[in-house]
Structure 1
Amino acid sequence: MSNHPHSAASAAPSLTANIWDERRPLADARLREIISDARVVGVGESAHFVAELNVARASLVEALIRDAGVGSVALEIGRDEAPLVHQWLAGERPEELQALVGPLTAALYGTFLDELRQRLPQDHGIRVLGVDLPNSLSIEPSVAPLAGVLATIDPDASELVQATIELAAQVKGGSAAASATSWLALERDVQDSLTVHLARLRARVDALAAVHRTDEDAHLWREARDLAETAATTDVMLRAMADLFSGTGRVDDTTIREVYVAQRLGDAVHALADGERIAYVAHNNHIQKTPVVFDGVVTAYPAGSLLAGLLGAAYRAIALTHTDEQVPEMAFPASTDVGFRVERVDAAAIGEHSVEAGCGEVLQSAAATIVLWDAGSRTHITSIRSQSATTEVTAATFDVALVFASAATDAAIAALSLD
């Protein structure tokens, strides 16, 4: 395949588009230059459950591991699932991935992880970081291990812990949608009691962790603080999602989750060895470096924007999108473990000054295109596809984009009976 630059569409004259070869993901010199000083590389997707994007992300991450010093892969999963995914990726677990983790993680990352495991050598040593809240947005995955830690270091909290466990167990679901529905079904006093118990438990753990920060069990107190913070933040985020699904959500509420993710990634960066990097694999709306804007309304300040503020040029964001006429989309509600089904719907029209329009005619002769631009004012970009809609962006939102001609529904969706 040719790797010579082509002129981009006249709608966006400052963009350049080259054929992107999945077999040589980092062949483009400008792409290599863009990531050369990065400590964290965001690898996105414009829509979940797209086969081409999952395979391409595996190819790109494998190249980042092999040729660019990436030693950790951060995913949109919680600390409860990360050890299981780590063991599976290392070939230490013989089970199918969906048998180890919830159906949502298997749907989001199954094909990507399967492709990555096949590409990596057996002794790859790659770490998997769960930098997000529990994917199910249920509280039990954080409270249960917290109870185990506190049984050792703070037995006096047992009554508070037990009451919190009983309340948290009433929120059930395999996804944010399902858990939010479960939470909405609770009586108001139960909802509020859960929040109060989590706040009380978090405050106690924070206070005692400060007192015991030099003790021999200080590491257990640090773990307890992390778990208590995760449980309390999940509860607040669960309330935000419940408001969203009930039509009373507040603008920017989902930033709660984004700040949590950015803090976890920031902590991981501080622990990196010299020359080591992290690939943060998530939706475009999480990795992007500017606010998420739909129809002129800011809906969140994403983790990527916070990382860009923290790391500057040491954070780079690679968007993945497509020009297909249809795209997989989540249909709510549904009687599945995750509370939705995946349907093919019409994708939003490609905007005149969109990232997708920057491909020009290159996609007529290739399956994928790499679109590059300068972050200066002369580069005029206004939108990129997001799920079946579009979101407003600027030249500063991403550093580079990979654009694909098709967006087939991932085979994992049918295997999980979510279609």
Structure 2
Amino acid sequence: MFTAYVTDNFHPLSTEEPVFPLDDLTGVRVVAIGESAHWVPEYTQLRHRLLRSLASRGGPVVFALESGFSEGRLVSEWLAGGPGDVRAVADEGLTYRMGRCAEMRAQLTWARSAGVAYAGLDLPGSAATPLPTLRRLPAEFPFVDELITRTEKFASEHALHTYAAYAALDEADRDALTARWASLSAWADVQVPGLDPVVRHEVRLGVLFDQMLRGHATRSALAAAARDRALAETVFWLLDYHPDATIVLGAANGHLQRTPISVPGLRVSPAGHHLAARLGSAYLAVAVTAVAGRTPTRRPSPSAPGGVEIAVADLEPPRPDAIEAALPHRLGRLDLRGARGLPDAPTAIRVQDTYLEGPVADAYDVVVGVPSTTVSEWLET
């Protein structure tokens, strides 16, 4: 059944053809275009094509990336005409090393000329440290100096080190941190009615960062849930801050799916689940994946600075139950909404060189298949 569905509904894409006809996006406020791995040039170029087609219709467009919100203010200011070189802005303003990719720098250069705005979606410091947010907050705010002092005792630029050091704190110290974040949030909400909404959202992300840390310390689903809630809340914030704009999200496929993620011992709502619940059909979830090629991946490595190294792997032929096995070996898109309920619909999608389990047609509205992928140049050097 599903094979016949793909034959009838797969739409090949030429090199320059828009990912979607603009009529297909009527009524859509948020287009989430994912990727099976970060630092893949072909995926960045697809997002760039989508942004170009949306910008061509003349309405405001905001590009929001799975990258730190606080750091992203530098990118936003640069796109609005601020000073600086794109390489330096990308390196400092995009977390998770997203700015090292030449294709991302090219996209930012184009966005500056096209009037496309930018926002980071994510917790600060590559989800390793809240200090970039704390150091942006006005010095006269209460509790900020204490929060910085307490945070400097455990925060590292490497996430695993931060989580281990936080878990080693006395319970009273962890509770004190949570109490100070709660007090700062309450103060910002109650005492400062005219507070800059950007600053107010940074405070909220700080609270969610603290909740993520508590989840890691207790090995609970709260760790992943808090981060994905942060991604979703940033989108809700953007919809209010840019009420007339179309928001294009760039993030890993798993963050964008419309359904909960279930793995042994864990069930969590990704950002896309929150977005779909509130926005309905105004949210379009697009998975992007590769049939073949190479992919960045992560491997445990005691000798790596953060205990994890980034490696490059060749993709093996897709599993028979994976969406990649059903896709033709050519660039194109497949609308999955008509495949929901088919008994033989795929039950896995690539994540780097492994798979995320679950009904793919329920999780995404559309999948874009790339015949073969490469990896960013900086990973090859």
TM-score by length of 1: 0.78
Which stretch has the larger CA shift, 10-19 or 37-46? 10-19
User: Does the Cα contact within 8 Å between 2:299 and 2:310 map onto a contact in 1?
Assistant: yes
Which stretch has the larger CA shift, 285-294 or 331-340? 331-340
Match of 1:236 among 198, 211, 230: 211
Matching residue's letter, 2:371 = A
- When residues 63 and 192 of structure 1 are mapped into structure 2, their CA distance, relative to the original with a 3 A threshold, is farther
- Give how far 1:88 is off: 4.2
- Give how far 1:62 is off: 2.3
Are 1:22 and 2:15 matched, yes or no? yes
- When residues 57 and 121 of structure 1 are mapped into structure 2, their CA distance, relative to the original with a 3 A threshold, is same
The residue number in structure 1 matching 2:341 is 377
- Give how far 1:96 is off: 1.6
- When residues 403 and 211 of structure 1 are mapped into structure 2, their CA distance, relative to the original with a 3 A threshold, is closer
SS of aligned partner of 1:201: helix
Q: Tell me the distance in 1 between the aligned counterparts of 2:217 and 2:99.
A: 21
- When residues 322 and 118 of structure 1 are mapped into structure 2, their CA distance, relative to the original with a 3 A threshold, is same
Match of 1:179 among 159, 163, 173: 159
Which residues of 2 match residues 249-264 of structure 1 at below 5 A? 249-251=219-221, 253-264=223-234
The residue number in structure 2 matching 1:5 is none
- Give how far 1:256 is off: 1.2
User: Does the Cα contact within 8 Å between 1:90 and 1:125 map onto a contact in 2?
Assistant: yes
- Give how far 1:280 is off: 0.8
The residue number in structure 2 matching 1:282 is 251
- Give how far 1:390 is off: 1.2
Match of 1:77 among 64, 67, 74: 67
User: Does the Cα contact within 8 Å between 1:48 and 1:108 map onto a contact in 2?
Assistant: no
The residue number in structure 2 matching 1:312 is 280
SS of aligned partner of 1:13: helix
Q: Tell me the distance in 1 between the aligned counterparts of 2:268 and 2:12.
A: 33
Are 1:96 and 2:87 matched, yes or no? yes
Q: Tell me the distance in 1 between the aligned counterparts of 2:23 and 2:302.
A: 45
Are 1:302 and 2:270 matched, yes or no? yes
The residue number in structure 2 matching 1:387 is 352
Q: Tell me the distance in 2 between the aligned counterparts of 1:242 and 1:320.
A: 33
Superposed CA RMSD in Å reads 3.1
SS of aligned partner of 1:305: helix
Matching residue's letter, 1:219 = L
Q: Tell me the distance in 1 between the aligned counterparts of 2:112 and 2:137.
A: 35
The residue number in structure 2 matching 1:400 is 366
The residue number in structure 2 matching 1:169 is 152
Which residues of 2 match residues 23-38 of structure 1 at below 5 A? 23-26=16-19, 29=21, 32-38=22-28
Which stretch has the larger CA shift, 10-19 or 103-112? 103-112
User: Does the Cα contact within 8 Å between 2:160 and 2:306 map onto a contact in 1?
Assistant: no
Q: Tell me the distance in 2 between the aligned counterparts of 1:169 and 1:268.
A: 30
SS of aligned partner of 2:367: strand
User: Does the Cα contact within 8 Å between 2:321 and 2:348 map onto a contact in 1?
Assistant: yes
- When residues 89 and 111 of structure 1 are mapped into structure 2, their CA distance, relative to the original with a 3 A threshold, is farther
Q: Tell me the distance in 2 between the aligned counterparts of 1:121 and 1:66.
A: 14
- Computing the radius of gyration from Cα coordinates, the structure with the larger value is 1
- Give how far 1:145 is off: 2.5
Are 1:219 and 2:195 matched, yes or no? yes
User: Does the Cα contact within 8 Å between 1:139 and 1:234 map onto a contact in 2?
Assistant: yes
Structure 2: segments with no counterpart, 5+ residues: none
- Give how far 1:179 is off: 2.8
User: Does the Cα contact within 8 Å between 2:48 and 2:107 map onto a contact in 1?
Assistant: yes
Q: Which has the higher contact order (CA 8 A, sep 6+)?
A: 1
The residue number in structure 1 matching 2:261 is 292
Deviations 1:180-226 (A, max 9, x none): 31442468345751x33332323333443454355xxx315x66653
Which residues of 2 match residues 339-350 of structure 1 at below 5 A? 340-347=308-315, 349-350=317-318
Matching residue's letter, 1:378 = L
- Give how far 1:279 is off: 0.3
Deviations 1:118-154 (A, max 9, x none): 54462x222211221114320211222335241xxxx
SS of aligned partner of 1:14: helix
**Count of aligned pairs:** 374
Matching residue's letter, 1:250 = S
